[in-house]
Chain A
Amino acid sequence: MAQAEIPYQEDMALHHPHSWVTKYWFSQDHKVIAVQYGITAMSVGLVALVLSWIMRLQIGFPGTFDWITPELYYQSITMHGMIMVIYLLTAFLLGSFGNYLVPLMLGARDMVFPFVNMISYHVYLLSVIILMASYFVPGGPTGAGWTLYPPQAILTGTPGADWGILTMLLSLAVFIVAFTMGGLNYITTILQARTRGMTLMRMPLSIWGILMATVLGLLAFPALFVSAVMMILDQLIGTSFFMPSVVSMGQQLDYSGGSPLLFQHLFWFFGHPEVYIVALPAFGVVSDLLSVHSRKNIFGYRMMVWAIVAIGVLSFVVWAHHMYVSGMHPYFGFFFATTTLVIAVPTAIKVYNWTITLWRANIRLTVPMLFAIAFVITFVVGGLTGLFLGNVIVDVPLSDTYFVVAHFHMVMGVAPILVIFGAIYHWYPKITGRMLNDTLGQWHFWVTFIGTYVIYYPMHYLGFVGVPRRYYENEIGGASAFYPESAALLNETITIAALVVGAFQFVFIYNMVVSYFRGKPAGDNPWGATSLEWRTPQTPPIHGNWGDKLPTVHRWAYDFSVPGAKEDFIPQDVPHDDEHGAHRT
């Protein structure tokens, strides 16, 4: 099919809203859907924040809070983990950023399938409601850990083994339906609805990150979907997909012949790409933040694109590095350790290129830039500790200890969240037409960056001592060799830091609400950025994004400080003049 047959959405029929309901609730405008995704994800994220307080109170001050029972503790760690990974990070980075940025950055009027896009959000909302319903079913939510490993997840020794696990699995299945509808939209829009001149190699890296993450999601989530269905069957009608013969609490059960390891393989075949589903959009967005705010092109754009693609492909052949001590055939260790450490190479290249971008730049330490730089240092720590856990034998003493907790919070918790914050400070002016308050933003940044570092950096060392993760109490019947008194003191410190960092997130929410009404007017392009979303005729952009004519792209997204040019940035839709040394693209 020739490219010309795609009408560039010039005359795309838009379903303009006729009432409040179709404008703000059942809207087909990708920008409204993006905000819906964002607000829902943030709300459920606040639940996860409170859950993390519960678990930190117990770890830091065991025995002090009678109402934190082991059941509540295990339910809290489970729900916290699942909410953060799926319902906040995945939903925010793809559902919210994906929706907002893809059409605007590519010069499209909307997603290719606006109706499906609308459904996608409402199905996501349904999955969140089902998840929260866990708290109202008999027995409460599941306490099986976010990995939901059977047989434990469906046996009586685990909280929520009757109802909680079912609502969890059902919610995941529904979420995957929502993600699939959204994901097909992102990919189709990126491949088919780019405006004139927007070649793939002119796309901002944000879009490359979102594209690759969506591809990963569409390939990886089905593995989670089938394992959810299989576990539901095991639990409800007594099939034995994951269930061998077991004696639970002294009783012989009717299961036989199933394989708990099969679930782990399926789970991590989804679970490892999931890390990159979260990381790749963050990689892309942070590349753009660093470039815009340092007034310099991103260094090594083509290498950055290929690194995203390489990481995406490799992420499908490393999953069993989560299973080195699971009892799988030990020779798998050689293969998965090698692939895992190979993935470090393209990842390291990305880090180098971010830092080299700052070389001889003209760095403006705006709030988005502060978050972007904090991301790099956090990601460096989290990425390097990944080399410990990826190298099979080094993983043996450290796996299932607090080293793992510290590692994944640094690399796929704090790091992407710092990018999300930076991105909100960066794009809020375009979304609302107003700037966020800078002073509150500075406070939010400093407490969040330093606070999270204080929480997670020392936590690695608890792992070296041997403190296992997911322990409700460490000291039972006197002190243990693996839990010296100093470790208890460290845990108290971490808890206090976690309470403070958590509380400061409300400053951020306050800032977003108040700035919406009273923020300084932003203008069309407050940061002097080059990509198309800053070139809309109106701010905030109206339904349809562009005026009568779609923009035409003449250059890549990184023409900052081009020698000979008057301004220190040249937007993508500005035709080539006779400025010297401009990038070939």
Chain B
Amino acid sequence: MALAIVLLIVIIGSVAFNWLSPWWFTDIASNWGNIDTTVFITFWVCGIVFVAVCLFMTYCVWKFRHKEGSRADYEPENSRLEWWLTVVTTIGVVAMLAPGLVVWDDYVNVPPDAQEFEVLAKQWTWAFRFPGEDGKLGTVDTTNIGMDNPFGMNMDDPNGADDVLVPASRVHLPKDQPVKVWLRSIDVLHDFFVPEFRAKMDAVPGMVTYFWFEPTKVGEYEILCAELCGVGHFSMRGRVQIDTQEDFDAWLDAQPTWAEMQAGITPKSYSAMAMRGRDVAETNGCFACHTLDGSVVVGPTWQGLWGSTRTMTDGSEVVVDDAYIDESVRNPAVKVVEGFAPVMIPYDLSEEDMQALIEYLREETGAEEPMSADRGEDAAPADAVALNEAAASNQGLAVLNAQGG
């Protein structure tokens, strides 16, 4: 008896929860409203089956519970009933599957007027590439990737020269324009997911994947990585700003092309010790997380690092010097800068390498004033996600300037 009552409460509670709970899809901001429709159909078919089966079982538990002297019926089979149930189930399955496949057909066939752009995923940040005036993305190769070629562009491909490169985790897209998203990863699996767009797809190293959508609402949305990509997976966020066509064009025009970036690269001189330190930073992959231009990727930027005062997660303040850098490399979890997740792995550098790295940081980030101090408000250190858009656009050249050689 108690069981029947509890089962009834569970059934009614489940249905009521569905209507009363505040948790449901975010407001849609793309063309994929028909994905929501297929979810809705599935919900109704499954909801009805859930209520019917569970209510029937609850009734049986109450009605046919053991009583003194009662005895069960003996009915091994009833093929008529079994066939009927099979047929009805099949109809329910078809009712869900058929519309699902129709919409999937839309999902995998990109409309011919879609504009292309590329999402480049890496641990734990996003970058973007637009095809430029010729409408063609230049070819790329992961093995080309280096300090002065973060996208792995093929130098001898003329189509790549006018490609617009956006190394920040922040991108703009035009409203009401279908876009085909090419996805590429340079290290592990990632997945480009904006809940408001409903659509998602994995980025897989060694191959290029795609999906498409059409943004329908101006606004800013969060990009999430939806495929486990290592210890910093949860911090791999980006922003996509949906603009009107005019605003988007203006933004795109302000971004440097690959040719412009290459032209801006000029060597910078360091002491021999610092040169070695820069090699240490490069071979250990420091620049994958720490930028020199003030933008925030995974870890705190190195811009203006030497001698500055930084606030830690526990509220204490630290002046950056030899000892702090040494500790932060060997034992990064001890002092974590406020607003950042403790995701850095320890590096066991030799004493000479450590001294060289410290010398490099002193020369690179200590002596002179940062190129520009006008950081956008969304690049406050507390926001490990959003990249300093202003810094990215104004200093795209500066990044490579500083890193070139």
**A-B interaction:** yes
Question: Using a CB–CB distance below 8 Å, which chain A residues touch chain B?
Answer: 69-71, 74, 143-145, 147, 149, 151-152, 155-159, 244-252, 256-261, 294-297, 299-303, 325-327, 330-331, 333-334, 337-338, 341-342, 344-345, 348-349, 351-353, 355-356, 358-365, 370, 373, 376-377, 380-381, 384-385, 387-388, 391-394, 396-401, 446, 450, 453, 457-458, 461-462, 464-466, 468, 470-474, 476-478, 480-482, 484, 486-487, 490, 558, 560-563, 568, 581, 583
Chain B residues with CB below 8 A from A300, complex form: 76-78, 82
A selection of 22 A-B contacts at a CB cut-off of 8 Å is A70-B231, A157-B345, A244-B207, A248-B285, A260-B204, A297-B74, A299-B78, A342-B93, A345-B93, A358-B61, A358-B64, A363-B64, A377-B10, A391-B42, A393-B38, A397-B195, A400-B193, A461-B21, A466-B195, A476-B234, A477-B384, A481-B26
Shortest CB distance A435–B (Å): 18
Chain B residues with CB below 8 A from A258, complex form: 206
Given contacts A155-B188, A482-B224, contact A363 B206 (CB under 8 A): no
Whose C-beta in chain A lies nearest to the C-beta of B222? A480
Q: How distant is the Cα of A156 from the Cα of B200 in the complex, in angstroms? A: 26
Chain A residues with CB below 8 A from B333, complex form: 69
Chain B residues with CB below 8 A from A473, complex form: 234-235, 341
* Interface 9-residue window, one of B94-102, B159-167, B262-270, B388-396: B94-102
- CB <8 Å contact, A373 and B10: no
Shortest CB distance B215–A (Å): 15
Chain B residues with CB below 8 A from A337, complex form: 97, 100-101, 104
Q: How distant is the Cα of A365 from the Cα of B73 in the complex, in angstroms? A: 18
Encoded as 1 (CB less than 8 Å from any A CB) or 0, chain B from 367 to 405 comes to 000000000000010111110000000000000000000
Chain B residues with CB below 8 A from A156, complex form: 345
Whether a CB of chain A sits under 8 angstroms from the CB of B301 is no
Shortest CB distance A162–B (Å): 11
- CB <8 Å contact, A457 and B14: yes
Shortest CB distance B115–A (Å): 20
Q: How distant is the Cα of A71 from the Cα of B21 in the complex, in angstroms? A: 33
Given contacts A145-B228, A246-B187, A373-B61, contact A299 B75 (CB under 8 A): yes
Q: How distant is the Cα of A159 from the Cα of B231 in the complex, in angstroms? A: 7
The binding surface of chain B is classed by DSSP as mixed
> Interface size (B, Cβ < 8 Å)?
118
Whether a CB of chain A sits under 8 angstroms from the CB of B3 is yes
Cross-interface CB contact of B230 among A155, A345, A348, A363, cutoff 8 Å:
A155
Chain A residues with CB below 8 A from B155, complex form: none
- CB <8 Å contact, B224 and A362: no
Q: How distant is the Cα of A311 from the Cα of B77 in the complex, in angstroms? A: 20
Given contacts A69-B342, A334-B104, A558-B76, contact A341 B96 (CB under 8 A): yes
Q: How distant is the Cα of A558 from the Cα of B77 in the complex, in angstroms? A: 12
Chain B residues with CB below 8 A from A388, complex form: 39, 42, 46
Chain B residues with CB below 8 A from A464, complex form: 23-25
Given contacts A250-B285, A490-B23, contact A157 B230 (CB under 8 A): yes
Given contacts A365-B65, A396-B198, contact A151 B187 (CB under 8 A): yes
Chain B residues with CB below 8 A from A251, complex form: 283-285
Whether a CB of chain A sits under 8 angstroms from the CB of B320 is no
Q: How distant is the Cα of A471 from the Cα of B380 in the complex, in angstroms? A: 22
Chain A residues with CB below 8 A from B100, complex form: 337, 391-394
* Given A250-B284, A261-B204, A365-B65, 7 extra CB contacts under 8 A: A69-B333, A157-B232, A294-B64, A333-B104, A365-B66, A458-B21, A568-B71
Cross-interface CB contact of B205 among A71, A260, A484, cutoff 8 Å:
A260
Whether a CB of chain A sits under 8 angstroms from the CB of B226 is yes
Q: How distant is the Cα of A524 from the Cα of B64 in the complex, in angstroms? A: 27
- CB <8 Å contact, B206 and A370: no
Chain A residues with CB below 8 A from B187, complex form: 151, 155, 157, 246-249
Q: Looking at B97, B183, B237, B386, which has the most chain A CB atoms within 10 Å of its CB?
A: B97
Question: Using a CB–CB distance below 8 Å, which chain B residues touch chain A?
Answer: 3, 6-7, 10, 14, 17, 21-26, 32, 35, 38-39, 42, 45-46, 49-50, 53-54, 56-57, 60-61, 64-66, 70-78, 81-82, 85-86, 89-90, 93, 96-97, 100-101, 103-105, 107-108, 122-124, 141-143, 145-146, 183, 186-189, 191, 193, 195-196, 198-207, 209, 221-222, 224-235, 237, 282-289, 333, 339, 341-343, 345, 380, 382-386
A-B pairs, 8 with minimum CB distance: A244-B206, A250-B285, A466-B195, A249-B285, A157-B230, A477-B383, A327-B209, A330-B108
Chain B residues with CB below 8 A from A401, complex form: 226
Q: How distant is the Cα of A333 from the Cα of B389 in the complex, in angstroms? A: 38
Chain A residues with CB below 8 A from B200, complex form: 325, 396-397, 399-400
Q: Looking at B35, B64, B145, which has the most chain A CB atoms within 10 Å of its CB?
A: B64
Shortest CB distance B20–A (Å): 11
Q: How distant is the Cα of A398 from the Cα of B60 in the complex, in angstroms? A: 35
Whose C-beta in chain A lies nearest to the C-beta of B100? A391
Chain B residues with CB below 8 A from A325, complex form: 191, 200-202
Shortest CB distance A291–B (Å): 10
Whose C-beta in chain B lies nearest to the C-beta of A150? B188
Shortest CB distance B384–A (Å): 6
Given contacts A159-B231, A393-B35, A450-B6, contact A487 B74 (CB under 8 A): no
- CB <8 Å contact, A380 and B96: no
Chain A residues with CB below 8 A from B56, complex form: 355
Shortest CB distance B284–A (Å): 7
Q: How distant is the Cα of A248 from the Cα of B268 in the complex, in angstroms? A: 26
Shortest CB distance A115–B (Å): 40
Whose C-beta in chain A lies nearest to the C-beta of B197? A397
- CB <8 Å contact, A362 and B25: no
Shortest CB distance B34–A (Å): 8
- CB <8 Å contact, A568 and B72: yes
Chain A residues with CB below 8 A from B66, complex form: 295, 362-365
Q: How distant is the Cα of A258 from the Cα of B206 in the complex, in angstroms? A: 8
- CB <8 Å contact, A561 and B229: no
Chain A residues with CB below 8 A from B82, complex form: 300, 303, 349, 352-353
Chain A residues with CB below 8 A from B108, complex form: 330-331, 333
Chain B residues with CB below 8 A from A377, complex form: 7, 10, 54, 57
Chain B residues with CB below 8 A from A381, complex form: 14, 50
- CB <8 Å contact, A327 and B204: yes
- CB <8 Å contact, B193 and A476: no
Q: How distant is the Cα of A563 from the Cα of B18 in the complex, in angstroms? A: 45
Q: Looking at A342, A370, A392, A487, which has the most chain B CB atoms within 10 Å of its CB?
A: A392
Whose C-beta in chain A lies nearest to the C-beta of B190? A152
- CB <8 Å contact, B288 and A400: no
Chain B residues with CB below 8 A from A385, complex form: 46
- CB <8 Å contact, B230 and A152: yes
Chain A residues with CB below 8 A from B26, complex form: 465-466, 481-482
Shortest CB distance A180–B (Å): 30
Chain B residues with CB below 8 A from A257, complex form: 206
Given contacts A370-B3, A465-B23, A484-B22, contact A396 B199 (CB under 8 A): yes
Chain B residues with CB below 8 A from A261, complex form: 204, 207
Chain A residues with CB below 8 A from B288, complex form: 249-250
